[in-house]
Amino acid sequence: MKILVVFGTRPEAIKCFPVIEELRRRPGVEVVACTTAQHRHILDQVMELVGLVPDIDLHLMREKPTLTDITTDVLHRVGEVLAEVRPDRVLVQGDTTTAMATAMAAFYHGVPVGHIEAGLRTDTILSPWPEEANRRIVSVITDMHFAPTRAARDNLLRENIDPASVYLTGNTVIDALHSVRARLAAAKTSSLPDNAKLRDLLDQGRKLILMTAHRRENWGEGIDAICRAARQLADRGDVVIALPVHPNPRVSVPVRAALGDHPAICLLEPLGYAEFVSMLGRCEIVLTDSGGVQEEAPALGKPVLVLRDTTERPEGVEAGCARLIGLDARRIVEEATRLLDDPEAYGAMSHVANPYGDGTAARQIADAILSNARGQRARAVGA
């Protein structure tokens, strides 16, 4: 059985590599790993760390692409790959434009699609934008939906998707996190970033706040509010804020202009995954609009303040390890201050079981794909 796995961005690489590794261990499976390279160097950071060498690299990243540019590039080039590789199945992950356009290309070529991290939903197609539409489009095309949580599975069932095609597997991000933490433990290193300012501020005994921001719907006003809140928090004098800056110029330019000069804010280059996981382990609290970080922080017992108005990951909020706090600078400061100053509030958010999986998602996904293929062969013989 030949499986084409297509991924393009940093989080797709993080969440796909455990599945690629698992499928490659299975007899009779040929995996073709194809990256669109919608991202380039932050994708390469992940691939290098985990030793993932793509069989096909489409080099599609552009400096300032429109969504139409990315969609048409992927549709066209993955279409060519499909014609050449002729896989039995395509796997995509999540809700990026790479995932959506690959699923469409596979549909046009008559190749079945499996969707890793299926069924996440908000109640508005405009948030996150364009990801909410992307994942709904993928769901329509997919014949194997790998739902990370019960809530995600229930979303799919509510959309009248055949229950026999939905598999509750947990999120592969937890597999990835376990794998990287095992590497760190084996190397006996914490792998904190090599940054003198950060080291000095931490040596002063300051509490570490880890921040990330990149969502398209936060560009402009949202990013400005996040930066105002960061400055106010950093002015407390007892914290250091580390912010690995997303390389998208719509994020990096305003963030560097607003925060570059603050003595207690460390603007870092995007961190390698091992370094980022080390920072997650070391920090006090996390402020983020990232999807993946919302899933990883609770697994390490770190309270997450979600810098968005909606989340497709309600499990963390319901479990009590995440709070959806929006983009009002005053509210962001208040919520962070409460966690920093009130041990009871902190304890209530940090001692919660991670709701996103047990680290066996990749194995369950591989089992499901192989047993589905056996079922299809048996039906074909029976016919």
Residue 228 neighbours by CB under 8 Å, 6+ apart: 258, 329
CA distance 19 to 144: 14
E strand or H helix that includes residue 212: strand 207-212
Among 39, 121, 153, 206, binds ligand UD1 (CB under 6 A): 39
Does 11 sit near ligand UD1 (CB under 6 A)?
yes
Single out the residue of 302, 226, 284, 96 nearest to residue 293, CA to CA: 302
| Cis peptide bond upstream of 112, omega within 30 | no
Complex with ligand UDP: residue 294 or 372, whichever CB lies closer: 294
Burial of 337 (0-12, 13-18, 19+ CB in 10 A): middle
Answer yes or no whether residue 220 interacts with ligand UD1 by CB under 6 A.
no
Q: Residue 7 or residue 146: which is nearer to ligand UD1 going by CB?
A: 7
CA-based nearest residue to 6, from 33, 31, 44: 33
Smallest distance from ligand UD1 to CB 307, Å = 13
Q: Which two tokens stand for residue 134?
A: 């992307």
Is 178 designated active site?
no
8 A C-beta contact, residue 117 and residue 171:
yes
Told to judge if 26 belongs to the known catalytic residues of this protein, a careful annotator would answer no
How far, CA to CA in Å, does 322 sit from each of 87, 167, 193? 40, 25, 25
Site for ligand UD1 contains 136 (CB under 6 A): no
Cβ distance to ligand UD1 smaller for residue 134 or 372: 134
Compute φ and ψ for 212, nearest 5 degrees: -140, 150
Of the listed 12, 22, 73, 117, which one is catalytic?
A: 117
Out of 22, 117, 132, 296, which residue is the one contacting ligand UDP (CB under 6 A)? 296
Element housing 154 (H / E): helix 150-158
142 binds, among ligand UD1, ligand UDP, none (CB under 5 to 8 A by kind): none
Among 1, 55, 65, 75, binds ligand UD1 (CB under 6 A): 65
Q: What interhelical angle do 291-299 and 172-187 show, nearest 10?
A: 60
Work out what residue 248 binds among ligand UD1, ligand UDP, none; the CB cut-off runs from 5 to 8 Å by kind: ligand UD1
273 touching ligand UDP, by CB under 6 A: yes
Choosing among ligand UD1, ligand UDP, none, which partner's interface includes residue 247 (Cβ < 5 to 8 Å by kind)?
Answer: ligand UD1
* Among residues 62, 76, 86, 374, the one that binds ligand UD1 under rule CB under 6 A: 62
Cis peptide leading into residue 130 (ω within 30°): yes
Q: Let me know how long the chain is.
A: 383
Looking at beta carbons only, is 39 or 115 nearer to ligand UD1? 39
Is residue 15 near ligand UD1 by the rule CB under 6 A? Answer: no
**Nearest distance from residue 35's CB to ligand UDP, in Å?**
15
Q: Which segment (76-84, 271-279, 305-313, 333-341) binds ligand UDP by CB under 6 A?
A: 271-279
- List, as one string, the DSSP characters of 92-141: EETTSHHHHHHHHHHHHTT--EEEET-----S-TTSSTTHHHHHHHHHHH
Residues 5, 6, 7, 9: which binds ligand UD1 (CB under 6 A)?
9
- Sheet hosting strand 322-324, strand order edge to edge: 265-268, 239-244, 207-212, 285-288, 304-306, 322-324
57 given a catalytic annotation: no
Q: Using CB under 6 A, which of 293, 299, 307, 366 touches ligand UDP? A: 293
| Subset of residues 239 to 258 that bind ligand UDP, contact rule: CB under 6 A | 244
Neighbours of 23 (CB within 10 A): 21
62 binds, among ligand UDP, ligand UD1, none (CB under 5 to 8 A by kind): ligand UD1
Concerning whether 216 is annotated as a catalytic residue, the answer is: yes
Segment lying near ligand UDP (by CB under 6 A), choices 70-78, 157-165, 292-300, 320-328: 292-300
Q: Tell me the closest approach of the beta carbon of residue 97 to ligand UD1, in angstroms.
A: 4
Q: Is-contact 369 144, C-beta < 8 A?
A: yes
User: Residue 378, Cβ neighbours under 10 Å: how many?
Assistant: 10
Residues lying near ligand UDP in the complex (CB under 6 A) are found at 10-11, 14, 212, 214, 244, 270-271, 273, 276, 290-293, 296
Active site positions, annotated = 95, 117, 131, 214, 216, 246
Residues lying near ligand UD1 in the complex (CB under 6 A) are found at 9-11, 38-42, 61-63, 65, 67, 70, 95-97, 130-131, 214, 247-249
